[in-house]
A and B are shown apart, each in its own frame.
Chain A
Amino acid sequence: MAESTLFRLRDDPQDSSWAHGDPAVPLDAYQAGGTAVRLEPGDDARALIPHLASLRRIDIAFPKFREGRGFSAARILREAGFAGEIRAVGVLYVDQLGFLVRAGFDAVLPEKPFDADVARATLARFPHVYMKAADTARPVWLLREERALAAR
Chain B
Amino acid sequence: MYRYDEFDQAIVDARVAEFRDQVARRLNNEISEEAFKPLRLMNGIYLQLHAYMLRVAIPYGTLDSRQLHMLAHIARRYDRGYGHFTTRQNIQYNWMKLEEMPDLLADLASVEMHAFQTSGNCIRNISSDQFAAAAADEIADPRPYAELLRQWSTLHPEFSFLPRKFKIAVTGSTIDRAAIQLHDIGLELVHGAEGEIGLKVLVGGGMGRTPLLAHVIREFLPVADYLSYMEAILRVYNRHGRRDNIYKARIKILVNDLGPAEFARQVEEEWAALKPLGLDPPPSELARIAAHFQPPVLDADAPVEIDLSNPEFANWVAVNTHPHKVPGHAIVTISLKAPGEIPGDASADQMDLIADLAKAHAQDEIRVTHAQNLVLPHVRRDALFTIWQALKGAGLATANLDRASDIISCPGLDYCTLANARSIPIAQKLAVRLAPQEADLGELKIKISGCINGCGHHHAGHIGILGVDRKGEENYQLLLGGSGAEDASLAKILGPGFDENGIVTAVEKVIGRYQSLRSGPGERFLDTYRRVGAEPFKEAVYG
Contacts and interface: CB of A to CB of B under 8 A. Distances in A.
Interface of A: 41, 65-69, 71-72, 75, 79, 93, 95, 98-103, 115, 118, 121-122, 125-134, 139-145, 148
Interface string B83-122: 0000000000000000000000000000000000000010
Best-buried of B8, B151, B158 by chain A (most CB within 10 Å): B158
Interface stretch (B16-24, B204-212, B515-523): B16-24
A75 B158 CA distance: 8
Contacts of B440: none
Contact of B157 (A65, A69, A71, A127): A71
Nearest to B15: A126
Interface string B5-18: 10110110011011
B288 A126 contact: no
A67 B161 contact: yes
Contacts of B273: 79
A72 B35 contact: no
Contact of A133 (B15, B158, B235): B158
Given A79-B277, A144-B7, A125 B284 contact: no
Contacts of A67: 161, 243
A52 to B, nearest CB: 15
Contact of A132 (B35, B161, B278): B278
B279 interface: yes
Contacts of A134: 157
Contact of B39 (A95, A100, A127): A95
Given A68-B162, A130-B11, A133-B158, 10 more contacts: A65-B161, A68-B121, A68-B163, A71-B238, A103-B157, A130-B151, A130-B152, A130-B155, A141-B282, A145-B285
Contacts of A131: 151-152, 156-157, 227, 279
| Interface size bracket, B side | 35 or more
Contacts of B471: none
A60 to B, nearest CB: 13
Interface in B252-285: 273-274, 277-279, 281-282, 284-285
B14 A68 contact: no
For the complex, would chain A's binding face be called helix, strand, loop or mixed by DSSP majority? helix
B151 A127 contact: no
Interface of B: 5, 7-8, 10-11, 14-15, 17-18, 21-22, 25, 30, 35, 38-39, 121, 151-152, 154-163, 227, 235, 238-239, 243, 273-274, 277-279, 281-282, 284-285, 288
A141 B15 CA distance: 19
A68 B160 contact: yes
25 contacts: A65-B161, A67-B243, A68-B121, A68-B238, A71-B157, A71-B159, A72-B158, A93-B38, A95-B22, A99-B155, A99-B158, A102-B157, A103-B157, A125-B17, A126-B11, A126-B15, A126-B18, A127-B11, A141-B151, A141-B281, A141-B282, A141-B285, A144-B7, A144-B288, A145-B281
- Residue of A79, A121, A129, A141 ringed by the most chain B CB atoms within 10 A: A141
A132 B22 contact: no
Contacts of A140: 7-8, 11, 151
A99 B157 CA distance: 4
A103 B25 contact: no
B271 to A, nearest CB: 13
A42 to B, nearest CB: 9
Contacts of B239: 69, 72
Contacts of B279: 131-132
Contact of A66 (B8, B161, B284): B161
B155 to A, nearest CB: 7
Contacts of B152: 130-131
B157 A98 contact: yes
Contacts of B160: 68, 71, 99
A98 B160 CA distance: 11
For the complex of A and B, list the 10 residue pairs with the smallest distance between their C-beta atoms, beginning with the closest: A68-B161, A102-B157, A141-B281, A140-B7, A141-B285, A130-B151, A99-B157, A103-B157, A71-B158, A133-B157
A72 B238 contact: yes
B238 A126 contact: no
Given A71-B238, A140-B7, A66 B157 contact: no
B241 to A, nearest CB: 9
A119 B5 CA distance: 28
